[in-house]
């Protein structure tokens, strides 16, 4: 759900912060969410950057590998729907 939220925000042209993800309580608790974010960053699916306006906030964006994963999923779904 975290990766989906990040990819959706990216597709809509908006930014999503770690705080935005924490406030979505349906995803996970704060501690679990930080662990999930850490794992996604280690797998190079997302990246976090400090906000230019407020250095205390971190914005999360998909990494190159995360976008490639989305393309792969899209191709698989398209090919499956053709059959």
pLDDT tens readout for residues 4-35: 899 999 999 998 999 999 998 888 888 999 99
Q: Given this model, what pLDDT does residue 45 score?
A: 94
Tell me how far apart the alpha carbons of residues 26 and 65 are, in angstroms, rounded to a whole number. Answer: 26
Q: How far is CA 78 from CA 30, 35, 71, 72, 75, in A?
A: 35, 32, 10, 10, 5
Gap between the Cα atoms of 48 and 55, Å rounded? 12
Q: What is the pLDDT of residue 26?
A: 87
Structurally, the chain folds into a number of domains equal to 1
Query: Range of 50's domain?
Result: 2-82
Tell me the C-alpha to C-alpha distance, in Å, between residue 6 and each of 37, 71, 82, 83. Answer: 11, 15, 28, 30
Please determine, for residue 38, whether its predicted confidence score (pLDDT) is greater than 90. yes
Could you tell me the CATH number of the domain that includes residue 29?
1.10.10.10
């Amino acid at each position: 759900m975290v990766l989906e939220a990040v990819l959706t925000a990216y597709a809509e042209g908006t930014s999503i912060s770690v705080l935005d993800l924490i406030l979505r309580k349906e995803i996970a608790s704060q501690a679990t969410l930080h662990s999930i974010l850490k794992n996604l960053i280690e797998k190079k699916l997302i990246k976090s950057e400090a906000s230019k306006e407020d250095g205390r906030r971190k914005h999360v964006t998909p990494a190159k590998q995360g976008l490639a994963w989305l393309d792969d999923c899209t191709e698989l779904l398209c090919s499956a729907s053709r059959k």
